[in-house]
Structure 1
């Protein structure tokens, strides 16, 4: 079985998460140039726009990068159209989340593309392995955004590692410091899947108010909710930070982008993991990556 480096094309064990709408070409290219596997967020993009983003990344870097695809809220053209475009553009890897990928994984692997599957349970890990996943991403309930797990990372990870055998496992959920990443790698994880830290990067597609709210937030400010997030069924679980002023709270969960109004960015429940308290400022993605990799 191949090791993580050969599967993702880089020796850096920190894998940026594919955050839909937030992880655009600028962030992906910056991270790939810095030695990580930059990860494009494809959810809800029409297939033609996804193709444009994939090609834009290629124009900005010749380093390996990946794209994240999620069936729910797959965009006007749907998940299948996105998958067709992604396979045709041949990124180094395609990561998958929140679905049954029995027919999807063979298509990706037949094209010579590494397949990563994010799971949140032992049962999910078993299914992904049976379907042929090259890499597992074990997500704990501490993670920001949509959270498939009901279990803390430190309880889930050892069980997934035992099941995975020689298949590399990335740990995910609240890993916003080098110390936390060293802890999970000491447990046997091949690397870390990191999202919230990179939302604060200068190159991300996050609204400036989103970045500022992350900087101001602490771990006690995250909330595990089950109500409404754009493009997902009512009741889908997620982790967010809420506005501090209750009167301003928007009942939606989302990731605010530059095209959103300031009021939306100020009032919406914003996706963020429990490691948000480690974020002190907005800075270039390569600097964030360097801080996270300290001592690895």
Structure 2
């Protein structure tokens, strides 16, 4: 890969979060670990730890390990409905004590009125991911600093509903009361970034493209499936719902496990050594998967995405 040097003038997101580029790593459970988060942060983006299902001690360890790998801002994603209120409160206390720059929330409606003010009082920027205008209005009323418009093209678990990012994004921007809105769903290339920025997005959240990176915690067979998949292979389903409210939708690449047994242990999030078991993983992937053709360093993926921003001093060496 040629070395690419460029600058971005900055916007509300970069100023609020202290990052060079408004490109966020999706906080994917177990996959977005310290190595990947730090690599994205060191490349100028916002790395986000996937905190889902992490016991409080493990969450603290990941936060500390990430801080040892980067001096750049990073964040953590929590899904409050998992583990019950006591476990979540323990996770939240760890976040308040360790103070990453960003707290990202998903399926947090029942908790946000209490959590968001506490997080902001501790100096954290709070981002809430939503899939509808109604949820966006609620997050804004509860004090969210940043809204993520999650289109139905997104991999992994989704808000209920089937609204694509192109109609969803401007609808949420219209009710955001000046708050920056990030776009999520099917974003894998500079052209995707350019299109969504032209619609008014303040930045993007990218998950699937970062699964296929050297630093990702995903099993090698999972990465291989991402690279081999076509756009047609990403399916909207409700089968991998263990721990989630029954019927919570998600987008995956179908696998060889007829009964989806590995949903009970976290699916593709686990580094399983036996190929026979790995072939049964829940292969979460968004509709942009057909444009991912290789496993690359996270910094290279960041550079490709950043080229979709309105850049200055763009030089290829």
Structure-1-length-normalised TM-score? 0.94
Matched residue, 1:184: 196
Q: Which residue number corresponds to residue 257 of structure 1?
A: 270
Residue 127 (structure 1) aligns with: 138
Question: Are 1:15 and 1:37, in contact at CA under 8 Å, matched by a contact in 2?
Answer: yes
Name the SS for the 1:53 alignment partner: helix
**What per-residue deviation string (whole Å, max 9, x for no partner) do you get for residues 190-243 of structure 1?**
000000000111101000000000001011001111123343233111110013
1:75 Cα deviation after fit = 8.1
d(CA) in 2 for partners of 1:57 and 1:11? 18
**Structure 1 unaligned blocks of 5 or more:** none
Q: How many Å apart are 1:3 and its aligned residue?
A: 1.7
Mapping of residues 123-272 of structure 1, within 5 Å: 123-148=134-159, 149-243=161-255, 248-252=257-261, 253=263, 254-259=267-272, 261-272=274-285
| 8 A Cα contact 1:31 1:38, kept in partner | yes
- SS at the partner of 1:193? strand
Structure 1 residue 76 displacement after superposition: 10
Q: Identify the residue that residue 102 of structure 1 maps to in structure 2.
A: 113
Alignment of 1:62-73 (within 5 A): 62-73=71-82
For residues 221-277 of structure 1, the C-alpha deviation after alignment (integer angstroms, 9 at most, x for no partner) is 01111123343233111110013x6xx544255324323532232123311000001
Q: Equivalent residue of 2:272, what SS? A: coil
How far apart are 1:6 and its partner, in Å? 1.9
For structure 2, list consecutive stretches of 5 or more residues without a partner in the other structure. 1-10, 310-317
Separation in 2, partners of 1:118, 1:95: 7
What's the counterpart of residue 90 of structure 1? 99
Matches of 2:274 and 2:134 in 1, distance apart? 41
Aligned to 2:3: none
Kindly provide the CA deviation profile for residues 110-153 of structure 1, in whole angstroms up to 9, marking residues without a partner as x: 10100000000000000000000000000011100001042111
The more displaced of 148-157 and 135-144 is 148-157
Question: C-alpha displacement at 1:87, in angstroms?
Answer: 1.1
Cα pair 2:29 2:269 within 8 Å, conserved: no
Closer/same/farther in 2, CA of residues 237 and 113 from structure 1, 3 Å limit:
same
Q: Map 1:15-26 to 2 at 5 A.
A: 15-26=24-35
Counterparts of 2:208 and 2:68 in 1: how far apart (Å)?
26
Contact 2:193 2:308 in 1 (8 A): no
1: CA distance, partners of 2:277 / 2:115: 36
- Residues 278, 24 of structure 1: alpha-carbon distance in 2 compared, 3 angstrom cutoff: same
Aligned equivalent of 1:280: 293
C-alpha separation between the residues in 1 aligned to 2:83 and 2:71? 27
How large is the RMSD of aligned CA atoms in angstroms? 1.7
Closer, same or farther: CA 256–265 of 1 in aligned 2, 3 Å: farther
Q: Deviations over 1:160-204 (max 9, x none)?
A: 001113100000000111101110100000000000000111101
Structure with greater contact order relative to length (CA < 8 Å, sep ≥ 6): 2
Counterpart CA distance in 2 for 1:268 and 1:196 is: 15
How far is the alpha carbon of 1:73 from its aligned partner? 2.7
Alignment of 1:31-70 (within 5 A): 31-70=40-79
Q: Distance in 1 between matches of 2:292 and 2:81?
A: 29
